[in-house]
Copies of this chain bind each other. A is one copy, B any other.
Amino acid sequence: MRRKVLDVAEVAFQARGYHASSLGDLMTAAGVSGGALHHHFPTKKALALAVIDERVAAAIKETWIAPVRQAASAREGVRQVFEAVAAELERQGFVRGCPLNNLAHELSLADPEFRIALAGIFAAWRQAIADKIRADQQEGREQGTDPEHFALVAVAAYSGAMSMAKTEQHAGPLRDCLAAFERSAAQAQSSQGDPGARRRRRVLRRFGGT
């Protein structure tokens, strides 16, 4: 019952937003009485916090954190996620937007508890990518890359591209962002002829080695 309410609330908050989703709507959609809902979630805010902590965080983990960890490298992981999300949007023919960003925009300024919960998910998201960059570096790749900067730009570009994709109802921005990312990756690879980068890599391989 609690699970069903969370299912319905997750979908409704994602599709219509927090304020536009009334508890009456959720009760009807979930087939739940007011008493039951009030028992599990005394207030609407409590319900939203549960959705954020249990569902939105899980969505980021499944969509982003796990694939990036499993990928051959951070760049390859980011590329795969962009590709997978764009493909899924094209398959669905509809863009609902990023669950985290959708709620972050509506609720970050509404209540400090919302804001902190949402900020924590952003932080975990970025850290997973930065950690992957650091792992790459320990294996000799990505010597000139700042892990935090890379993670921030990846998350920011994804979030912003998804914003536009949602507004335009088209996966194009995600595709273009992916294309730009791949082009810059190719450029970075070709510019490894940069003498500074090559020297730095040798040094770090010797000093930071296994």
A194 with B188: CB separation less than 8 A: no
Q: How many residues of A contact B (CB 8 A)?
A: 52
A158 with B160: CB separation less than 8 A: yes
Provided the pairs A105-B166, A118-B167, A158-B160 are in contact, do residues A177 and B153 lie with their beta carbons within 8 angstroms? yes
CA distance A96 to B108 in the complex (A): 9
Interface residues of A in 99-119 (CB under 8 A from B): 101-102, 104-106, 108-110, 115, 118-119
CB distance from A151 to the nearest CB of B (A): 9
A180 interface neighbour in B146, B163, B183, Cβ under 8 Å: B146
In the complex, whether A97 has a CB less than 8 A from a CB of chain B is: yes
Chain B residues lying within 8 Å of A210, measured Cβ to Cβ, are: none
B157 with A108: CB separation less than 8 A: no
B157 with A122: CB separation less than 8 A: no
Question: Which stretch, A13-21, A27-35, A133-141, touches the partner chain B?
Answer: A13-21
A101 interface neighbour in B105, B148, B173, B179, Cβ under 8 Å: B105
**A14 to B, closest residue via Cβ:** B109
Provided the pairs A173-B156, A193-B193 are in contact, do residues A122 and B168 lie with their beta carbons within 8 angstroms? yes
B183 with A149: CB separation less than 8 A: yes
CA distance A106 to B20 in the complex (A): 9
In the complex, whether A159 has a CB less than 8 A from a CB of chain B is: yes
In the complex, whether A191 has a CB less than 8 A from a CB of chain B is: yes
What mask results when residues 168 to 210 of chain A are scored 1 for a CB within 8 Å of chain B, else 0?
1100010011011001100110110110000000000000000
